[in-house]
Amino acid sequence: MTNNDSLNTNSIASSEISFEDFKNIVIADYKLAYESRQASLLGRKEVLTGKAKFGIFGDGKEIPQIAMAKAFKKGDWRSGYYRDQTFAFATGMITIKEFFAQLYAHPSIDAEPASGGRQMNGHFATRTLNEDGSWKNLTEIKNSSADISPTGGQMARLVGLAYASKMFRENKDLAFLNQFSVNGNEVAFGTIGNASTSEGVFFEAINAAGVLQVPMAVSVWDDGYGISVPAAFQTTKEDISEILKGFQRGELAGYEIFKVKGWDYAALCEVYEKAIKVCREQHVPVLIHVTELTQPQGHSTSGSHERYKSKERLEWEAEYDCIAQMRKWMIETALSTEQELDELEEIARKFVKEAQKEAWNDFINDIAAEKNKAIALLQNLGNEVSGLDVLINSLVKSADAQRKEIYSAIRKALRMAVQVSSPAKNDLINWYQQQENANHTRYNAKLFSETSESPLLVPTIAAQYDDASKMVDGREVLNACFDANFNRDPRIVAFGEDLGNIGDVNQGFAGLQEKYGDIRISDTGIREMTIAGQGIGLAMRGLKPIAEIQYLDYLLFAINILSDDLATLAYRTNGGQKAPLIIRTRGHRLEGVWHSGSPMGMVVNTLRGMHVCVPRNMTQAAGMYNTLLRGDEPAIVVECLNGYRLKEKLPVNIGEFTVPLGKAEIIREGSDITVVAYGSTLRMVEETANELAEYGISVEIVDPQTLLPFDTDMICAKSLSKTNKLLVVDEDVPGGASAFILQQILEVQKGYYSLDAQPETLTAKAHRPPYGSDGDYFTKPSHDDIFEAVYKIMQSSNPAKFKDIYR
Ligand SMILES: Cc1ncc(C[n+]2csc(CCOP(=O)(O)OP(=O)(O)O)c2C)c(N)n1
Ligand SMILES: [Mg+2]
């Protein structure tokens, strides 16, 4: 049997249970720990014999995880890392069979629910969504947010998962969200390796949760190493709880900090019970430093720890192996006997072996049907193509062939048959093309969650104006938009540096904290990674956060979290989880090296899996927020930093009109040349087009409005078919986002076919913009630059008419 029920651990509320019950719980815990160890040992063998590619296991960390699982309740959350298999088994988050299915990369959600074969083993996740993308009742589930491999990266999201409990407890208007929380009683459990506490994001998260006072329980699994590098090179005083002592609460709010030996089962159970009680009931963050852990098989299947651990250390590790210590303790305290445990271990070994075999057979049988079909089709073709038999035989002989071998053989056969035309060949091609869909679903689908709530499906509603519509500052347009949305949907929250009290540095949120309360609209510390993580965690728990990064240039401080965690979430869980977080920021053009950058190439390259909105003014921005806030996918909106004080007409349906994503707009019609630009540069391009008209050049201007998705109706290519000339203008570095735009227009939209002059880009310089008006002029595309760039393209096609300006 490999279902979850056989694995779960029970809590020991020692005063309420008999000795017999207590004994049975301890024995069951030991059995589970032992099974987990067997899974690690067998898992490593599976890699070393070539059945799996890579393995990383939780051996040496079993006992504290069993103790932690006892304190973990339905509705709680985990944000952890790759060592947590025993915890995952003990909470029923994964079965041992599923653990092996992940090791083999079985691309099936049924076989491997954490990621459908996408993530390396030890990367845990429970499914928070039903198949149709709707939320499950998360209060009935022991939840794990989806792991990522970058060490420490789980800490940012952990802050948000814990912060959600605070929101649910303090904001009574959220009571209707009873599938997400019961009065904010949920604890967010974090786990992290000792060495990974050296990461900046760890310290940022610890401080943030201390400030916020949220129910976050961080366990540090301390085995004294990070791969080969010992604690002396990782941590001041080699002791994370020692150096975090200043966070201990006293008269002032802070943390409860615990330190406990990782091989001491009884002490661990006691510490976890105590720590989690404080955390859950009082919403006080806790840190549990679990020391003296071991790593019996070394870090991963990629190396051997004998290379860097001393003989003495290895001997100590053998003796203080947490399972060995628990066994010893059980015998010494007469909870069990050698014989009883020997028998139990034998049963556990068989159970794990059985689960592994089942997982492998399921994995390989799924492929076998495809392999057999492929062989049959290839054999039909074999008569017509000489030399195919060698290819076929090698596939036949490959007992454990995976898809790469099968499809590579087919593609090679089709190359060899390039001169043949026959029904057998057609059959092979048809079947291969059919399989491409299935393989796309297996390996490439779900970059977005693609539910019925996708922002791409939000109906388009035009902005409306009446005679009374006023011209207001751009910031007031946004302010009215946020006001309307906060009024409409209590799930919406916003936070960031200076966003609460003063309503952000450009006053888009002015007055709204007073109106909606400081639990919904709040200031944060200066901590971009955990601002992003705060948003991710809230969004995973059913809220609709807008997390503000004060300036686009400071997005670099959050880009790791957004790229590794938020942008990959739907993909890495194969549609199992979603986090509809909106990142709000502003940039492109202001002053100086760090307030006028426009690193949009970085954004489009690192944030695939998010929608990237680049509104040209605040009305378009408001329409995009209206769309995104009605959708359920993550996005970033980059407002134009120099547009808050420009006058715009306030739509009467400010909270209702929507700007569709991926829909480019022609903002000026023309016939000679197409200029594609976005954000702040558009205004300059428009002005320049007026001057160009005086020279007889008719410019068509296209605003893609969103870079991801990019112009899904191919407006750019259609424009090119009219003008046959293309200039892309932006303020990123050369080859930044403008290269992406060119690739989209020339390759995806096949705009290449319409061109009769070389396509050009006009961008900022390769360095960052210097301070001052002259710095801006000589760095960013200016009115003059735009004029000359357009003129030059026109000149190349008609030099007689367009004389050289500089001659
Ligand atoms: C950001 C990042 N840097 C480096 C790595 C490579 N790496 C993977 S695990 C690891 C050591 C982690 O040690 P520790 O946090 O103590 O966890 P342990 O494996 O010892 O349980 C390193 C350096 C990574 N995955 N992510
Ligand atoms: Mg370690």
Distance 578 CA to ligand 1 centre (A): 26
Task: Pick the atom of ligand 1 nearest to 197's CA.
Answer: 15
Same domain, 462 and 518: yes
Same domain, 460 and 425: no
- Rounded mean pLDDT, 386-405: 94
> Structurally, how many domains does the chain consist of?
4
Residue 353 resides in a domain: no
Residue 803 resides in a domain: no
Task: Kindly state if the Cβ of 230 falls inside 6 Å of ligand 1.
Answer: no
Final residue before a domain boundary, out of 442, 474, 495: 442
Residue nearest to atom 17 of ligand 1 (CA): 193
pLDDT at 179 over 50: yes
Task: Kindly state if the Cβ of 533 falls inside 6 Å of ligand 1.
Answer: no
Same domain, 526 and 407: no
Of 272, 58, 229, which is closest to residue 147 (Cα–Cα)? 58
Asked if the bond preceding 709 is cis, omega within 30° of 0, the reply is yes
**CB 794, CB 725: distance < 8 Å:** yes
- CA–CA separation, 490 and 622 (whole Å): 18
Same domain, 392 and 464: no
Final residue before a domain boundary, out of 336, 356, 379: 336
- CA–CA separation, 675 and 788 (whole Å): 13
Catalytic residue, from 595, 611, 767, 783: name it: 595
Task: Kindly state if the Cβ of 226 falls inside 6 Å of ligand 1.
Answer: yes
Same domain, 29 and 129: yes
CATH number of the domain to which 461 belongs = 3.40.50.970
Give the model's pLDDT for residue 631. Answer: 98
Residue nearest to atom 26 of ligand 1 (CA): 150
For every residue of 93-126, DSSP letters joined together read SS-HHHHHHHHTT---TTT-TTTTT-SPTT----
pTM of the shown model:
0.97
Q: What pLDDT, in 10s, does the model give residues 66-97?
A: 999 999 999 999 999 999 999 999 999 999 99
Residue 571 resides in a domain: yes
Give the model's pLDDT for residue 15. Answer: 59
- Pairing mode, strands 611-613 and 635-640: parallel
Distance 454 CA to ligand 2 centre (A): 40
- CA–CA separation, 769 and 780 (whole Å): 7
Final residue before a domain boundary, out of 622, 649, 676: 649
Q: What pLDDT, in 10s, does the model give residues 132-150?
A: 999 999 999 999 999 999 9
Residue 659 resides in a domain: no
Task: Kindly state if the Cβ of 221 falls inside 6 Å of ligand 1.
Answer: yes
Task: Pick the atom of ligand 1 nearest to 61's CA.
Answer: 21
Distance 576 CA to ligand 2 centre (A): 29
Element (H, E) at 761: strand 760-762
Same domain, 673 and 636: no
Q: Measuring CA to CA, how many Å separate 581 from each of 27, 127, 373, 542?
A: 44, 18, 44, 10
Residue 806 resides in a domain: no
**CB 32, CB 65: distance < 8 Å:** no
Residue nearest to atom 12 of ligand 1 (CA): 226
Distance 194 CA to ligand 1 centre (A): 9
Give the model's pLDDT for residue 240. Answer: 98
Same domain, 516 and 412: no
Residue 84 resides in a domain: yes
Task: Kindly state if the Cβ of 670 falls inside 6 Å of ligand 1.
Answer: no
Exposed, middle or buried: residue 711 (CB in 10 Å: 0-12, 13-18, 19+)?
buried
Q: What pLDDT, in 10s, does the model give residues 502-529?
A: 999 999 999 999 999 999 999 999 999 9
| Per-chain mean pLDDT for the chain | 96
pLDDT at 3 over 60: no
Distance 262 CA to ligand 1 centre (A): 19
**CB 466, CB 591: distance < 8 Å:** no
Give the model's pLDDT for residue 58. Answer: 98
Task: Return the HEC string of 65-94.
Answer: HHHHHHHCCCCCEEECCCCCHHHHHHCCCC
Task: Kindly state if the Cβ of 150 falls inside 6 Å of ligand 1.
Answer: yes
Q: What pLDDT, in 10s, does the model give residues 764-799?
A: 999 999 999 999 999 999 999 999 999 999 999 999
Task: For a ligand 1 pocket test, name from 196, 309, 313 the mutation site with the most ligand atoms within 8 angstroms of its C-beta.
Answer: 196
Give the model's pLDDT for residue 136. Answer: 98
Residue nearest to atom 11 of ligand 1 (CA): 226
Q: What pLDDT, in 10s, does the model give residues 287-310?
A: 999 999 999 999 998 888 999 999
Task: Kindly state if the Cβ of 516 falls inside 6 Å of ligand 1.
Answer: no
- Please state, for a pLDDT cut of 90, what percent of the chain lies above it: 96
Residue 639 resides in a domain: yes
Same domain, 100 and 241: yes
Give the domain range for residue 10: 4-336
Proximal ligand: closest to the CA of 299: 1
pLDDT at 7 over 70: no
Same domain, 224 and 132: yes
Same domain, 382 and 504: no
106 is catalytic: no
Same domain, 477 and 517: yes
Of 613, 633, 575, 612, which is closest to residue 453 (Cα–Cα)? 633
Q: Measuring CA to CA, how many Å separate 713 from each of 664, 709, 759?
A: 8, 11, 20
Residue 34 resides in a domain: yes
Same domain, 12 and 100: yes
Q: Measuring CA to CA, how many Å separate 42 from each of 28, 349, 352, 515, 532?
A: 21, 10, 8, 59, 38
Task: For a ligand 1 pocket test, name from 148, 227, 234 the mutation site with the most ligand atoms within 8 angstroms of its C-beta.
Answer: 227
